[in-house]
A and B are shown apart, each in its own frame.
Chain A
């Protein structure tokens, strides 16, 4: 992915100068290492602040909801699938978007880096297959594959599905024998162990809703957690409320989630709530043969039906 940054700046400059778009959404360096932040460029002179590296895991589709202007946006494989979902769900028009596809080789997991190094991380530099982390104690070098986000390691759609410009040649897609090995492991447990597994998984949750806010699918005007009459979910730290929140949050993403990993990345407690969304992703695939965000002309899984949908569970 090295060399993307310069091309991005050129494209952004060109689009803004010609007036083809009103705004470019990309990334700029954050104030801390490994923390790139979304960046909204409206003047060609500001295009120089755009960057691209392995820390651009935030899903930029999240910033397109209900926008009215013409926008150019950089899209990894997962982002582009979410943009397709946005178009399907009428959250933005396809004509408003100038999608600059970014063939992606995976984002770096900042938690893995922090866990594998001692002391504060001062800087991170990367090449196509290695990552070098600088701390006060010196430099450490890692294989990129070892510090990748789990969803990127399992990704089978690295290249954008829709785009107007492509930043570089498409990268080779990964072939993964079993994307859902961890899900199958939980499915094989008995009910009590499953219950306990999720009890432990969700115990650290502080109900900050960062997972909801980072998610491009979560745009309801009033979220179910904020509804007061009736109140479906309590607002406190009650274990049942926490579980209900995670259950419903995941269920709302059924047939829409592209496993971009934004929720897990945003979680301050490091909870892997993707275990819930991926279960739904797996079921949508096995029950309805549906994969989210692959085709702007197809309605999502829960918006259509077949007369012979599976119903063995119904008496």
Chain B
């Protein structure tokens, strides 16, 4: 297990965090590389299905990141998203998933240092928990 590396599925808003990740890249910042990034038009686009689907298909952690409240490209998408996320996180933890598996953040396109900080935190939190066993669909059992 010592060489185990977590798989993190990240949903980034096109207008902010995706840009921050890009900026971190061109700035040659170093950070762990365990994320698979999925670009979405807005954090308001995130459906609970996306997050559950990531876990079902073997993600050890999920990270959703969008624009700071007030900075949404579509004016208010992240405000609606914030309400959904609050209920979603509470419910999934109520059903028994470890609190460190699911992360949310607001990162603007200029905050590449915050991006590096958060990605490191997310990966460390998921590493500490080990491979995800919950909400995973065990495909081996089928065959």
Contact = CB atoms under 8 A, between A and B. Distances in A.
Interface residues of B, number: 40
B127 interface: no
Nearest to B76: A305
A209 B97 CA distance: 24
B137 A241 contact: yes
A307 B69 contact: yes
A240 B135 contact: yes
A232 interface: yes
Contacts of A255: 87
Contact of B95 (A192, A195, A230): A195
Interface string B97-127: 1110001111000000000001001000000
B86 A247 contact: no
For the side of the interface on A, what is the size category? 35 or more
Contacts of B91: 247, 250-251, 254, 276, 279-280, 283
Contacts of B83: 287-288, 301-302, 305, 309
Interface string A276-310: 10011001100110000000000001110101011
Contacts of A195: 95-97, 134
A93 interface: no
B90 interface: yes
Contact of B82 (A186, A187, A314): A314
Nearest to A276: B91
Where chain A touches its partner, the secondary structure class is helix
B135 A309 contact: no
Contact of A238 (B79, B90, B96, B137): B137
Where chain B touches its partner, the secondary structure class is helix
Nearest to A191: B98
Contacts of B84: 302
Interface in A224-243: 224, 230, 232, 234, 238, 240-241, 243
Contacts of B70: 307
Contact of A191 (B53, B76, B99, B121): B99
B93 A191 contact: yes
A313 B86 contact: yes
A248 interface: yes
Contacts of B79: 305, 307, 309
B85 interface: yes
B76 A247 contact: no
Contacts of A186: 94
Given A195-B95, A309-B79, A251 B89 contact: no
A13 B95 CA distance: 49
Nearest to B122: A315
Given A305-B79, A311-B69, A283 B96 contact: no
B27 interface: no
B75 to A, nearest CB: 11
B23 interface: no
Interface in B19-72: 48-49, 52-53, 56, 69-70
Contacts of A18: none
A315 B106 contact: yes
A244 B87 contact: no
A237 to B, nearest CB: 11
A2 interface: no
B137 A240 contact: yes
A163 to B, nearest CB: 30
B54 to A, nearest CB: 11
B87 to A, nearest CB: 5
Given A191-B98, A315-B106, 20 more contacts: A186-B94, A187-B94, A193-B96, A232-B49, A238-B141, A240-B137, A244-B56, A247-B92, A251-B87, A276-B91, A287-B86, A287-B87, A303-B80, A307-B70, A310-B86, A311-B86, A313-B85, A314-B106, A315-B103, A315-B105
10 contacts: A191-B97, A195-B97, A240-B137, A248-B49, A251-B48, A276-B94, A302-B87, A305-B83, A309-B83, A313-B89
Interface of A: 186-187, 191-198, 224, 230, 232, 234, 238, 240-241, 243-244, 247-248, 250-251, 254-255, 276, 279-280, 283-284, 287-288, 301-303, 305, 307, 309-311, 313-315
